[in-house]
């Protein structure tokens, strides 16, 4: 399969590496930063293209791994290509590509970081396509990369991405607040590691609501007021604590504070 990648960020880099590993080496990569494009092309063992319009027109798949607000612009610049245009965004509709056929989505449900695992086998891959031929191409690549394949339309994928923001981004932010609270008293963050890992595991094994514990669930108003008092000097943490506590009290049918 003739594959090209547009983009030089973390998603493009990871996708390129994983495709090479599973035997689907891209033929070329394109991006605006000439130095990075050249470096990535050497890493992947493929051709570098410094202009989208220079990409060959006879490819099978063109992965558009760029920022969400650039997907539509890049798609318009690829009118000369005959292959399928595939974006990798969770929050962007398939229609953004602007094609009735030969368009799709290849969305890995994971945070992409520098120390990413060497395999996508456990990472859910969400696919969408305008037509069966494009979906077949995506299916071949997806099954080579992951053991978890899901077919989601744009609405379902948008809801998944929203849920992922709560699961990943907001949870990480709360962990940051927790670590700062410990750091202020010169306590190590590792004190929370077992609790954090077991909390997530319990939520998926037993259900989040069923696994909820803490002063709000017990309606322990003394502890709640004492902890709010301790947060008075940190307005951000105070407001978040109060907001989430009141939500928990409502869910568990207890009076608001």
- Show the domains of the chain with their CATH numbers: 3-152 (3.40.50.720), 158-251 (1.10.1040.20)
pLDDT at 88: 98
Per-residue H/E/C for 230-256: HCCCCHHHHHHHHHHHHHHHHHCCCCC
Distance CA 13, CA 46 (A): 13
pLDDT for position 58: 96
Q: How far is CA 144 from the centre of its chain?
A: 20
Q: Report d(CA 141, CA 22) in Å as an integer.
A: 9
At residue 182, the pLDDT reads: 98
Residues 58-116 have pLDDT tens digits of: 999 999 999 999 999 999 999 999 999 999 999 999 999 999 999 999 999 999 876 77
pLDDT, residue 134, reads 99
- Give the helix, strand, coil percentages of the chain, each rounded to 5: 55, 10, 35
With a CB cutoff of 8 Å and minimum separation 6, the contacts of 118 are 21
**Cα–Cα distance measured from residue 154 to residue 235, given in angstroms and rounded to the nearest whole number:** 38
Low-confidence ranges of the chain (pLDDT < 50): none
User: Helix 171-184 crosses helix 235-251 at what angle (to 10 degrees)?
Assistant: 130
Query: How much is the pLDDT for 117?
Result: 72
- For position 118, what pLDDT does the model report? 80
Run of H or E residues at 137: helix 132-145
């Amino acid at each position: 399969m003739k594959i090209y990648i547009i983009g030089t960020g973390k998603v493009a880099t990871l996708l390129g590496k994983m495709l090479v590993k599973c035997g689907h080496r891209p033929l070329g990569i394109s991006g605006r930063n000439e130095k990075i494009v050249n470096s990535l092309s050497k890493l992947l063992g493929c051709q570098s293209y410094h202009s989208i319009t220079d990409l060959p027109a006879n490819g099978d798949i063109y992965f558009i791994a760029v920022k969400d607000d650039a997907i539509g612009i890049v798609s318009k610049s690829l009118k000369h290509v005959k292959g399928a245009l595939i974006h990798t965004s969770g929050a962007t509709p398939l229609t953004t590509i602007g094609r009735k056929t030969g368009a799709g989505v290849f969305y890995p449900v994971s945070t992409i970081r520098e120390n990413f695992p060497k395999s996508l086998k456990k990472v859910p891959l969400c696919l969408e396509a305008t037509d069966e031929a494009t979906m077949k191409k995506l299916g071949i690549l997806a099954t080579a990369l992951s053991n978890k394949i899901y077919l989601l339309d744009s609405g379902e994928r948008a809801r998944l991405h929203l849920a992922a923001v709560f699961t990943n981004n907001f949870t990480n932010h709360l962990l940051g607040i927790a670590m700062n609270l410990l750091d202020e008293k010169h306590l190590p963050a590792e004190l929370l590691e077992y609790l954090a890992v077991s909390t997530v595991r319990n939520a998926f094994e037993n259900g989040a609501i069923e696994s909820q514990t803490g002063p709000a669930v017990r309606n322990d108003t003394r502890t709640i007021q004492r902890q709010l008092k301790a947060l008075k000097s940190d307005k951000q943490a105070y407001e978040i604590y109060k907001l989430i506590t009141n939500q928990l009290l409502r869910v568990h049918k207890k009076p608001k504070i």
